[in-house]
Amino acid sequence: MTTTELDDFPTLTQRYQRELLAHCYRMSGSVHEAEDLVQETFLRAWKASADFEGRSSVRTWLYRIATNVCLTNLEGRPRRPLPAGLGTPDAMAGDALEADHEIAWLEPVPDAAVVVAERDSIRLAFVAALQHLPARQRAVLILRDVLRWSAAEVAEALDTTSAAVNSALQRAHAQLAERGLTEDTVEPDLTPEQQRMLERYVDAFWRKDVDSIVGMLTAEATWDMPPFTSWFKGTESIHWLIANECPGGAHDMPMLPTQANGQPAYGLYMRTPSGDFIPFQLQVLELDGDHVRHVTAFFDHRLFETFGLPMRLPADHLPAPSPR
């Protein structure tokens, strides 16, 4: 790359927008914050473009700026958890659901907004794992393990030493290993069996066939629902949750497919008294073979717009028929 590329900032921003968004999302755990952080990155880059000396690539230079923008943003802020990461035990059938809107919860990110090749490092479980690390350890792990920078490159970006970088990386690995958290590679494509199972899953919600829904879960499946602090483990508890706490009945809950964090996801809608459908929750699914291992159902309706999903479905909307 040459410094002349810095003269065409619209092209520059278009070229690096998606990968920098993924980077800022890994750091912040929020797609909405990440969008602002990327804009701040480009603003700082534009102001400093005259000082760019070409000692590194423009891409490396932008990542260095973005990392430091993220670190400044994270100063004094608590981590963004999921309910299962709060350290509280799983809820039992019959337990009251309690919402906490004061917690800044982890958010999903649309696959369409980031570089698809990086899906393995934006999995919801991995980004949630990163949130357990202090901000600088988080930055070191991302730069070393995800972006494959050398210790010297990371040290220069963070204004520290290679020894300090290696020490921080070792501590980050130890903390993730202690929690049993890893950056497992996601399956690149759904198998035909998985696709058929997901179509049955959507159909079961449309019919509110709770037995069929939980029949597609693993025995030890978990389900959480930010901003509700409760999380549920096992098919019996999840069966109770859907049967008793999900307000819709048969033909009240259509789903539209999308992709989040390299995983299948669905916008679930709820029928209104006037007959049409409005956003209810965005479900992100983690699969285990041809079963569902984990569901995170986000109740932040802003996410529907973020994911390009409509904010209303007409009363005559019908989901696609499911294979039997």
* 219 has a pLDDT exceeding 90: yes
The pLDDT of 229-240, averaged and rounded, is 97
pLDDT for residue 119: 66
The values of phi and psi at residue 314, to 5°, are -70, 160
The pLDDT of 264-271, averaged and rounded, is 98
Q: Which range has highest mean pLDDT (124-128, 176-180, 182-186, 256-260)?
A: 256-260
The pLDDT of 135-160, averaged and rounded, is 95
Question: Sign of dihedral through CA atoms 288, 293, 297, 302?
Answer: negative
Task: List the domains of the chain with CATH numbers.
Answer: 1-77 (1.10.1740.10), 192-306 (3.10.450.50)
Q: pLDDT tens digits for 83-117? A: 988 889 999 988 999 999 999 999 999 998 987 56
199's enclosing H/E stretch is helix 192-207
pLDDT greater at residue 117 or residue 133: 133
* 160 has a pLDDT exceeding 70: yes
The two counts, helices (H) then strands (E), for the chain are: 11, 6
Q: Are strands 217-225 and 291-298 parallel, antiparallel or unpaired?
A: parallel
pLDDT for residue 57: 85
* 206 has a pLDDT exceeding 90: yes
Tokens of 19: 């990968």
Banded model confidence at residue 1, pLDDT cuts 50, 70, 90: very low
- The span from the CA of 153 to the CA of 49, in Å, is 20
Burial readout 252-281 (b: 16 or more C-beta within 10 A, e: otherwise): bbbbbebbbbbbbbbbbbbbeeeeebebbb
- The span from the CA of 310 to the CA of 318, in Å, is 15
Mean model confidence pLDDT for the chain: 91
* 173 has a pLDDT exceeding 70: yes
The backbone region for 87, taken as left when phi is positive above 0, alpha when psi lies in -120 to 50, beta otherwise, is left
pLDDT greater at residue 185 or residue 71: 71
pLDDT greater at residue 1 or residue 219: 219
